[in-house]
Amino acid sequence: MAAILDFAQIVGKRNTITAPSELRTYECDGLAGFRVRPAVVVLPETTEQVAAAVKLARSLGMPIVPRGAGTGLSGGALPVDGCVVIGLARMTKILAIDLENRRMRVQPGVINLDISRRLAPLGYYYAPDPSSQSVCTIGGNVAENSGGAHCLKYGFTVNHAVGATIVTSDGDVVTLGAQSGEPDSLGYDLMGVLVGSEGLLGIVTEVVVKILRRPQATRTIFATFPSTDEASGAVSSIIASGIVPAAIEMMDKLAIEAIVAATHVDWPLDVGAALLMDVDGVSAEVEDTAAAASALIEAAGAIEMRTPHDEVERGLMWKGRKAAFAAVGRISPNYYVQDGVIPRKDVAAVLREITRLGNEAGLRVANVFHAGDGNLHPLVLYDARIPGQEAKAEHVGGEILRVCLKYGGSVTGEHGVGRDKACYLGEQFSGDDLATMQMVRSAFDPYGVLNPDKLFPTPRLCGDKPGAYTAHPVEISGQAGRG
Amino acid sequence: MMVAGVEPRTLVEPQSVDELTDRVRELYARETPFAFIGGGTEMELGNLPRALDTLVRTTACTGVIDYAPEDQTITVEAGMTIAAVSDVLARERQFLAIDAPDPERATVGGAIATNLSGPRRLRYGGIKDTIVGVEIVRPDGVRARGGGKVVKNVAGFDIPKLMVGSLGTLGAIVGATFRVFPVAERRAALMYAVLTVDQMMSLCAELIGAALVPAAVTGFACAKRGRYDVVVTFEGFARGVEEQMTTAAAIAVRLGVDAEALPDDALAAQGKRERALRRGANWHLTVCAPPTALAHFVATTPFADDVRHAVDPLLGTGYFAAAEFDVATVAAWRTALGGGSAVVNALPAQARRGLDSWGEPPKAALAIMRRLKATFDPKGLCNAGRFVGGL
Ligand SMILES: Cc1cc2nc3c(=O)[nH]c(=O)nc-3n(C[C@H](O)[C@H](O)[C@H](O)COP(=O)(O)OP(=O)(O)OC[C@H]3O[C@@H](n4cnc5c(N)ncnc54)[C@H](O)[C@@H]3O)c2cc1C
């Protein structure tokens, strides 16, 4: 096929994948329930190659799906029929470290944790720390506005990724945002909109991130409780006291069981919930806040409290938390992760509703989540081999999102909308809200060729539900004329 | 009520967001050029309007929609002043991280539209970092929301960010939700006297190197050329602040410079000095550059005698004020700043000829901005011509 040969001319044969057996790797992301085989995958190594590949795809009328490491949990990197997947995983260069201005410039395929690893000897780090940080790419983080346990105090990707180079759907190379450490750039905050745009507005080929000085001290507290009610109470009273923990994570009974089975941390099993919390900052403050937080945890009804004796033990505790999803994967053949957000004061009530939904469907639900910012991760356990269970799990997942919306929250706090939650977006936002977002899309990609069938609810994806319809970008740009 | 020195024909003041929405829809339908005004504190920012008939004032829309102290979020209508929001929050010992020079007049909507930014941005982030939701009335009179009421949310495009610094050219900001912060138990500040630019930058490097967490660092240019009084403010729990003050004092000894603790109301003192900077000066400029470039700029630029200024050296922001100034100097500064910018916030009306208030953004990004503006405001009626690139 001429088309595919042409891609190979741009990125080289080695970086062009067409064999069906090799294409299989690219059929899905972390949401393995959805699978579509792309026509071709290209793995460019430079911005110029990305631009040339985009231009070629456009001339061939092929839709384009950007991809990082494929760890996304919402089907964001799911291919569409006849598409070219542009994989950025081979663009792994660290381009510049500027300690004086506390910025670093990297290619999009750099693994999140590698940024902090590279900075560690210098006493600096990159703050956003998704649990997948040892495998996911910074480009994927930018596209998803990824969060992590320590985002409670330090903010999300959008607060740290301040500039980028992108390739637009026309194959143009554009720099957005602050490139070298200036606090703002002129004009509309296009960088702010790019972050979290899930590959619909442009392909990120360079990222400028803020880097932070390691705090003087960090203290970790692990505490267990009879139930999630007391644990939620502890979170609320800590926050109300004015302490801003670096992280405060909650695990329920089932999640603890799974983590203990998978990682051999010596957490007790006869408890209803656990909190894992970090406070960090200047030493004296950390001492005081750790003591104050401990008192509040005790007052909230904790069973037991532990502080790690050394870095190794602390590392193990956090490893336990970060391995939670994989651990749940070992106690259940399948699970479905949700990512809803609620006001944190409502955590206890919403967890009770989630338990009820699980019980009604006869499915177990494990909860392991960012309690400090109300970002829940209910994992609905099921067995796909049992007819009907998968559909039930999806139903429970959907109902959980509706509960989050009922409490004034959001259907996604960090995993993105992607293909998975597109149809729920119309329940969170009005048709006018979504049309406004489509207007933004049309300014970047008037023909909607970048990552189509993601994020926006369309009649084709969701059926003709009233309220879910939004105009196709071409409709809007047609009416608006292209300025 | 002037807009960049131009008098609009009509001023309307809708009494509710619904009425404001109706007004905008009518103006758009009748093809009447319009713009928005809040407290009117920053109306000289931006270029001459290309066309302007009606000015729509937001100051009657002042409701608190939702305040959840436990969640540290507040949702307000955009006509509320920063001071009014602060009063509501103060009852729960919380605050909004927007250091407005004139909080009694500046409105929430205006602060968002102009990306108002102050020295404590260093610690708490700018408006871009603390805004979590927005409600707008598009130029065509359609009401739309983006973001939400919870602090963490990645559903849909980040419309709140798009509104920050958009100068009302994509529509009216009628409501917003912010993440707010607990008022610190203690605040203290240290002033390092008459530092050279090099000493100021060494001080910054030492503060970061010692992993201190200042809430703000501001260098006020002294009467003596090339010298700065640098005020370093700490906020937090008492012992942490005390420890930082001790370390910061030790840094002064190491650098061989004088430092003295400021009285308790350090922030008020700082605010007073900032306001004094602008008093009696017709020209106000904000310079934005990487910290090292800003340092180089202030060290090498031959400022005229009446140019007063202050810099936030760790943020990369400089505030300049002068009675006399000219277009050629603005151009020279922009060239000297390279990738940075010099935005003219205020100037005498007669000096506008030939001046672009903003400077030029990169061409390729500007092309996307143009399409964005054309999509939101295809008839070009909404605050036309005042923004970057004549948008
Ligand atoms: C075990 C596990 C734990 C996780 N924990 C967290 C967590 O704690 N917090 C969190 O936020 N997420 C978490 N995730 C989700 C996921 O890791 C993040 O969304 C991550 O940012 C995805 O990065 P990626 O490189 O794998 O991107 P992909 O999955 O390859 O792509 C994600 C999206 O980004 C787009 N994209 C990728 N690269 C680019 C680019 N260069 N330019 C433009 N668009 C691009 C894709 O089109 C897609 O829409 C977890 C996932 C797993 C499997």
- Sketch out chain B's domains with CATH numbers: 1-182 (3.30.465.10), 186-351 (3.40.462.40)
Residue A393 in domain: no
Q: What distance in Å separates residue B351's CA from the closest CA in chain A?
A: 22
| pLDDT for position B226 | 94
Q: Is the CB of A373 under 6 A from ligand 1?
A: no
Residues B368, A190: C-beta atoms closer than 8 Å: yes
Last residue of a domain, one of A297, A326, A355: A326
- Give the nearest chain B residue to A241 (CA atoms): B182
Which H/E stretch holds residue B317? strand B317-322
Of all protein residues, whose CA lies closest to atom 2 belonging to ligand 1?
Answer: A132
Same domain, A203 and A234: no
Q: What distance in Å separates residue A210's CA from the closest CA in chain B?
A: 12
Distance A71 CA to ligand 1 centre (A): 5
Domain limits for position A314:
217-326
Distance B105 CA to ligand 1 centre (A): 43
Residues B370, A483: C-beta atoms closer than 8 Å: yes
Residues B317, A183: C-beta atoms closer than 8 Å: yes
Q: Tell which one of A36, A49, A67 to mutate to probe ligand 1, the residue whose CB is within 8 A of the most ligand atoms.
A: A67
Residue A292 in domain: yes
Same domain, A158 and A184: yes
* Per-residue exposure over A24-59, b if at least 16 CB sit within 10 Å of its own CB, e if not: eebbbbbbeeeebbbbbbbbbbebebbbbbbbbbbe
**Residues A405 and A427 sit within 8 Å (Cβ to Cβ):** yes
What's the one-letter identity of residue A394?
Answer: E
Residue of B94, B114, B157 best to disrupt the A interface, most CBs of A under 10 A? B157
Residue A171 forms contact with B (CB below 8 Å): no
pLDDT in tens, B370-384: 999 999 999 999 999
Same domain, A240 and A315: yes
Residue B366 forms contact with A (CB below 8 Å): yes
In CATH, what number is assigned to the domain containing residue A223? Answer: 3.30.70.2190
**For residue A474, is pLDDT > 90?**
no
Q: What distance in Å separates residue A199's CA from the closest CA in chain B?
A: 11
Q: Which residues of chain B have pLDDT under 70?
A: none
| pLDDT for position A49 | 98
Residue A250 in domain: yes
Q: Which of A144, A188, A190 sits opposite B154 (nearest CB)?
A: A144
Q: Is the CB of A233 under 6 A from ligand 1?
A: no
Q: Is the CB of A157 under 6 A from ligand 1?
A: no
Q: What distance in Å separates residue A83's CA from the closest CA in chain B?
A: 23
**Residues B27 and B54 sit within 8 Å (Cβ to Cβ):** yes
Same domain, A104 and A167: yes
Q: Is the CB of A139 under 6 A from ligand 1?
A: yes
Same domain, A78 and A6: yes
Residue with tokens 């008098």: B7
Residue A471 in domain: no
pLDDT in tens, B213-247: 999 999 999 989 999 999 999 999 999 999 999 99
Residue B64 forms contact with A (CB below 8 Å): no
- Confidence band (pLDDT; 50, 70, 90) for A482? very low
Report the C-alpha dihedral over residues B12, B13, B16, B19, rounded to 10 degrees: -10
Candidates A409, A84, A160, A377; CA nearest to B68 is A409
Q: Parallel, antiparallel, or unpaired: how do β-strands A247-252 and A365-370 relate? A: antiparallel
pLDDT in tens, A265-307: 999 999 999 999 999 999 999 999 999 999 999 999 999 999 9
DSSP B47-86: PPPSS--EEEE-TT---EEEEEGGGTEEEEETTSBHHHHH
Same domain, A121 and A199: yes
Distance A68 CA to ligand 1 centre (A): 7
**C-alpha separations of A9 from A13, A42, A49, B292 in Å:** 7, 11, 10, 42
In CATH, what number is assigned to the domain containing residue A74? Answer: 3.30.43.10
Which H/E stretch holds residue B297? helix B291-300
**Mean pLDDT in chain A?**
93
Q: Is the CB of A457 under 6 A from ligand 1?
A: no
Atom of ligand 1 nearest to the CA of A66: 47
Residue A181 forms contact with B (CB below 8 Å): yes
Same domain, A68 and A33: yes
* Per-residue exposure over B283-303, b if at least 16 CB sit within 10 Å of its own CB, e if not: bbbbbbbbbbbbbbbbeebeb
- Give the nearest chain A residue to B93 (CA atoms): A242
Alpha-carbon gap, residue A142 to B84, rounded angstroms: 36
- Confidence band (pLDDT; 50, 70, 90) for A461? confident
- Confidence band (pLDDT; 50, 70, 90) for A463? confident
Give me A294's structure tokens. 């401990």
Residue A195 forms contact with B (CB below 8 Å): yes
**Residues B329 and B216 sit within 8 Å (Cβ to Cβ):** no
**With contacts defined as CB-CB under 8 Å, which chain B residues touch A244?**
181-182
Last residue of a domain, one of A155, A186, A213: A213
Alpha-carbon gap, residue A258 to A375, rounded angstroms: 20
Q: Is the CB of A132 under 6 A from ligand 1?
A: yes
Alpha-carbon gap, residue A88 to A86, rounded angstroms: 6
Residues A415, B154: C-beta atoms closer than 8 Å: yes
| pLDDT for position B267 | 75
- Give the nearest chain A residue to B161 (CA atoms): A192
Residue A105 forms contact with B (CB below 8 Å): no
Q: Tell which one of A29, A135, A144, A167 to mutate to probe ligand 1, the residue whose CB is within 8 A of the most ligand atoms.
A: A144
- Confidence band (pLDDT; 50, 70, 90) for A464? low
**For residue A42, is pLDDT > 70?**
yes
Residues A284, B288: C-beta atoms closer than 8 Å: no
Domain count within chain A: 3
**Contacts with B, A 392-451, CB within 8 Å:** 408-417, 421, 425, 428-430, 432-437, 439-444, 446
* pLDDT more than 70, % of chain A: 95
Total count of residues recorded for chain A: 483
Contacts of B191 (CB under 8 A, 6+ apart): B229, B230, B231, B232, B259, B260, B261, B262
Same domain, A120 and A222: no
DSSP A334-399: EEEE---B--GGGHHHHHHHHHHHHHHHT--EEEEEEGGGTB--EEEEE-TTSTTHHHHHHHHHHH
pLDDT in tens, B60-111: 999 999 999 999 999 999 999 999 999 999 999 999 999 998 999 999 999 9
Residues B359, A174: C-beta atoms closer than 8 Å: no
**Residues B388 and B358 sit within 8 Å (Cβ to Cβ):** yes
Q: Is the CB of A76 under 6 A from ligand 1?
A: yes
**For residue A428, is pLDDT > 80?**
yes
Residue A300 in domain: yes
Give me A83's structure tokens. 């598409």
- Confidence band (pLDDT; 50, 70, 90) for A469? very low
**For residue A366, is pLDDT > 70?**
yes
Residues A175, B125: C-beta atoms closer than 8 Å: no
**For residue A475, is pLDDT > 60?**
no
| pLDDT for position A1 | 52
| pLDDT for position A481 | 31
Same domain, A204 and A109: yes
Same domain, A227 and A188: no
Alpha-carbon gap, residue A103 to A96, rounded angstroms: 8
Distance A136 CA to ligand 1 centre (A): 6
Q: Is the CB of A199 under 6 A from ligand 1?
A: yes
Q: Where does B197-316 show beta strands of DSSP type E?
A: 216-221, 227-236, 259-261, 283-288, 308-312
**Contacts with A, B 140-159, CB within 8 Å:** 142-146, 148-159
In CATH, what number is assigned to the domain containing residue A99? Answer: 3.30.465.10
DSSP state of B6: B
Of all protein residues, whose CA lies closest to atom 16 belonging to ligand 1?
Answer: A72
Atom of ligand 1 nearest to the CA of A454: 49
Task: Give phi and psi for B53, each to the nearest 5.
Answer: -115, -55
Alpha-carbon gap, residue B389 to B391, rounded angstroms: 5
Residue A102 in domain: yes
Q: What distance in Å separates residue A106's CA from the closest CA in chain B?
A: 18
Q: What distance in Å separates residue A444's CA from the closest CA in chain B?
A: 6
Of all protein residues, whose CA lies closest to atom 27 belonging to ligand 1?
Answer: A140
Distance B172 CA to ligand 1 centre (A): 34
Neighbours of A350 (CB within 10 A): 25
- Give the nearest chain A residue to B337 (CA atoms): A182
pLDDT in tens, A143-202: 999 999 999 999 999 999 999 999 999 999 999 999 999 999 999 999 999 999 999 999
Q: What distance in Å separates residue A214's CA from the closest CA in chain B?
A: 7
Atom of ligand 1 nearest to the CA of A156: 11
Alpha-carbon gap, residue B99 to B94, rounded angstroms: 14
**Residues A224 and A300 sit within 8 Å (Cβ to Cβ):** no
| pLDDT for position A460 | 85
Distance A372 CA to ligand 1 centre (A): 22
Same domain, A31 and A123: no
Candidates B370, B350, B238, B354; CA nearest to B4 is B350
Alpha-carbon gap, residue B334 to B352, rounded angstroms: 17
Residue with tokens 């291919």: A79
**With contacts defined as CB-CB under 8 Å, which chain A residues touch B117?**
183-184
Same domain, A68 and A130: no
Last residue of a domain, one of A326, A345, A360: A326
pLDDT in tens, A439-448: 999 999 999 9
What's the one-letter identity of residue A436?
Answer: T
Of all protein residues, whose CA lies closest to atom 28 belonging to ligand 1?
Answer: A70
Give me A307's structure tokens. 């502080």
Task: Give phi and psi for B333, each to the nearest 5.
Answer: -60, -45
Residue A54 in domain: yes
Residue A455 in domain: no
pLDDT in tens, A263-275: 989 999 999 999 9
Residues A344, B138: C-beta atoms closer than 8 Å: no
pLDDT in tens, A308-362: 999 999 999 999 998 999 999 899 999 999 999 999 999 999 999 999 999 999 9
DSSP A425-452: HHHHS-HHHHHHHHHHHHHH-TT--BST
Alpha-carbon gap, residue B370 to B388, rounded angstroms: 10
Alpha-carbon gap, residue A156 to B83, rounded angstroms: 28
